[in-house]
Structure 1
């Protein structure tokens, strides 16, 4: 009996439990990012959807995908249990990707399949992360290391799939690409089935109680209603747009009410959280370009062959360029972590507000690179090395901005409302991604490829990239000017809520 409760035994048990969640997360991300790499190209190249309509459909889909985890997290915490909700989400995702493969011949199923995937992601995403938190509850050092590996699994899965699925689409058709996404999640479910005993003692409170069949029925009915409603929104662009703006108004209303009800000692932290959340949210306007304008830019204006000294090293298709983002994330993460450590040791650690400002400066540089390349390319195509350089700069900006959004909430928002704030933050991110799709349409104002003059080459995108660079530059300057105010609110927050041991 002593062996079962020893530190080494607990450590081994935690690692085994974590490995199960890590594996299913890796395969789930394989499916999601593989789908994202080819979905826009499928709509534009195979269905003949106009650029403007395809961009906005991707934006509405992204908004829904980011909004629903708040509801999925509530179902995991209060109704089904995190373990059950994660499993239900993974099974539903498998069906969604399979239906997407079927939609390649039955096009009327496209928005229905997308609605299933968005709903299933809302079930899976928050509950898989919650299981990791529960596995390492009470051990902050191990939890930090676990989430580092967890984040790496996300990037490994996305890198492999964004290289594989465009190749499958080019060689065997879109059905094979979407089928691979379904197969990936199914493999994760198979691994879970074989190793589920390691998660038997992990979960939220409802996981350890029987769920009445009536409650299961109500949950399934609610999921079906959500899928039907989302499918309707995706089919009707104006409805989706109105829903996104209503969500934005709801976020602002919730944040206002939260601030008015907060204790005076909590308000400086909330002000800083709102300020930084708006900046973090704004990053996703630029992030959304990867799945929209940058993919179309790669399709129509970037040479696929990477050459050095006249020798072709390798080639990438339009969808595969999205893999540059997770590749750069994996390469830059340990370097950035080392830099943070050394700055902290020397007493020069950057505040989150400073990191955000530097991050947006890098986003600005990335789109300046794309703008200059588009200008130079004119009516022709540009070298793919431009994509490597600009994606690297944009991804480093992501690590400084996008990766710290939840850290802001954890640090500055009162604990009783932090979960609600995280849900509203994800909803705000979804709104930002829809705005990003609207921005992408600046390079697709005339509709489809032929009508919009897309054959004009790289120059078509110069105006869009310039506007994005100007917007990112303006945000950088604005938040640099607000740094003194951010420092003031941070000091006021620390006075009211001193750190342990301070």
Structure 2
């Protein structure tokens, strides 16, 4: 952006939201980078219990925005919901920093963070849409910067928090998450006037005592409910099963009742969304099995030949994902632009296939390196290249998930499908944690490096096979998807013509 663009009132309002979003992601991903290690090393959770708790926590965190978005849109306003969510998150990180002294409260603390995220995440994005309402080109630029802010915040915190943990303890690392978000909240209070012209009337009118009380009770009830789910793996598992059934029923009902012109597109969206859900199984390995693998079987030292460069803590390897995303995103955008100008752009289905090929390569690298390892400590460069292919796969699968919805679903149902997409993604994250337990040692005595190396070797082979199966399924379905896509375009053209004639 130029200096004149920065002085634009809309851009000033946008940067109010952007700054608090950056610090919110700083807090969340900083926490995530060390959470599985905290549960495993400090709280003495077995790998099985730690992975399942993180899976349930991720599922709740992904599902909560569906309700949080509704509260912001219909009840208290998006600005108030965003601010309320950020304050709840800061409290959650503060309590987490003290969890070394009250370990039994970890479930409540994680529930607080889930609820805070549910209020913050959808409403911050909605405010960006309101600022650039009916300005699609500016909205695209804004969300590009918004996405970059997410990656900048997460990269810095994923590199910083493990260092703080190693040198000053767990409490200091979690406290940094709280401190960062507090900076974002403080900046919001200083600059909030810039946002005032773009917030809806619902945000301007004072809340009545009755609504405030109901919101407080709703937040408290949600925290208690999620705490109960996180405390019991049995309850969590059946809640995930229930959520999966609800998503399937809603999708079937939507297909049966949607206008005939959209049915072919909806079938394409369902197939690609299911494939996108499979990716989240692999994505969940970053915060579970891959972090534990780095802790137990990766040499923390980086070398080029005989020259030592630096050391990384196990949690810092998660930062490779946003780093590669920031490097690859603009390159992929240039490639898409180049191909589009020459009318050679790949179909979304082809991009999904390419994405899963890259994912398969990532786990093939990790499996082969475990298989051929001469020692129990593999080179750090193994993680660099594995994360490169996994992140590339993310851009071609998960990165296109919302684009698939926008392309094939009518705008009147976009909000509903986006909510169900995130719920489905949360279900996949939980499944990913279940699969991560393939590498969970049966007993604490099995944590020796030679035994864990064999466990991760087995896990990576299974994940490689799942990725290959996803590629095969998509390749088999490509002719059908192309046929449905052709019918979808014909139906949309006929629908548009009939609308014009009317």
Q: TM-score, normalised by structure 1?
A: 0.96
CA distance in 2, matches of 1:121, 1:40: 19
CA distance in 2, matches of 1:500, 1:135: 29
Match of 1:4 in 2: none
Q: CA deviation at 1:132?
A: 0.8
Match for 1:456 among 451, 469, 477? 451
Match of 1:193 in 2: 189
1:61 aligns with 2:40: no
Structure 1 residues 341-384: Cα deviation after superposition (integer angstroms, max 9, x where no partner): 11111111011111111101100000000101111226511000
Q: CA deviation at 1:460?
A: 2.5
Match of 1:483 in 2: 478
Structure 1 11/249 Cα, relative in aligned 2: closer, same or farther at 3 Å? farther
CA distance in 1, matches of 2:450, 2:159: 25
SS of equivalent to 1:68:
helix
Structure 1 residues 431-464: Cα deviation after superposition (integer angstroms, max 9, x where no partner): 000000000000015144x345555353321010
Match of 1:85 in 2: 81
C-alpha RMSD of matched pairs (Å): 1.7
Q: Which runs of 5+ in 1 are unaligned?
A: 1-7
Match of 2:365 in 1: 369
* Maintained 8 Å contact 1:444/1:452: no
* Maintained 8 Å contact 1:373/1:386: yes
Structure 1 residues 478-501: Cα deviation after superposition (integer angstroms, max 9, x where no partner): 101111111111112111223989
CA distance in 2, matches of 1:116, 1:455: 38
* Maintained 8 Å contact 1:378/1:456: no
Match for 1:231 among 227, 231, 238? 227
1:220 aligns with 2:216: yes
CA distance in 2, matches of 1:445, 1:486: 42
1:251 aligns with 2:257: no
The alignment of Structure 1 onto Structure 2 pairs a total of residues equal to: 494
Match of 1:265 in 2: 261
Match of 1:183 in 2: 179
SS of equivalent to 2:302:
strand
Q: Which runs of 5+ in 2 are unaligned?
A: none
CA distance in 1, matches of 2:361, 2:85: 38
Alignment of 1:56-455 (within 5 A): 56-377=52-373, 380-448=376-444, 450-451=445-446, 453=448, 455=450
CA distance in 1, matches of 2:68, 2:185: 19
* Maintained 8 Å contact 2:441/2:452: no
Match of 1:38 in 2: 34
Structure 1 45/339 Cα, relative in aligned 2: closer, same or farther at 3 Å? same
CA distance in 2, matches of 1:405, 1:473: 20
* Maintained 8 Å contact 1:377/1:457: no
Quick check: 414-423 or 296-305, which moved more? 414-423
Structure 1 residues 63-102: Cα deviation after superposition (integer angstroms, max 9, x where no partner): 0000010100001110111111000000000000001111
* Maintained 8 Å contact 2:438/2:455: no
Q: CA deviation at 1:262?
A: 1.1
* Maintained 8 Å contact 1:77/1:205: no
Q: CA deviation at 1:203?
A: 2.5
CA distance in 1, matches of 2:382, 2:295: 14
CA distance in 2, matches of 1:303, 1:166: 16
CA distance in 2, matches of 1:378, 1:277: 41
Match of 1:3 in 2: none
Q: CA deviation at 1:210?
A: 2.6
Structure 1 residues 151-181: Cα deviation after superposition (integer angstroms, max 9, x where no partner): 0000000000000001111111100011000
SS of equivalent to 1:473:
helix
Match of 2:487 in 1: 492
Q: TM-score, normalised by structure 2?
A: 0.96
Structure 1 residues 217-244: Cα deviation after superposition (integer angstroms, max 9, x where no partner): 1011101000001011111111011101
* Maintained 8 Å contact 1:440/1:464: yes
CA distance in 2, matches of 1:230, 1:445: 28
Structure 1 378/225 Cα, relative in aligned 2: closer, same or farther at 3 Å? farther
CA distance in 2, matches of 1:312, 1:332: 27
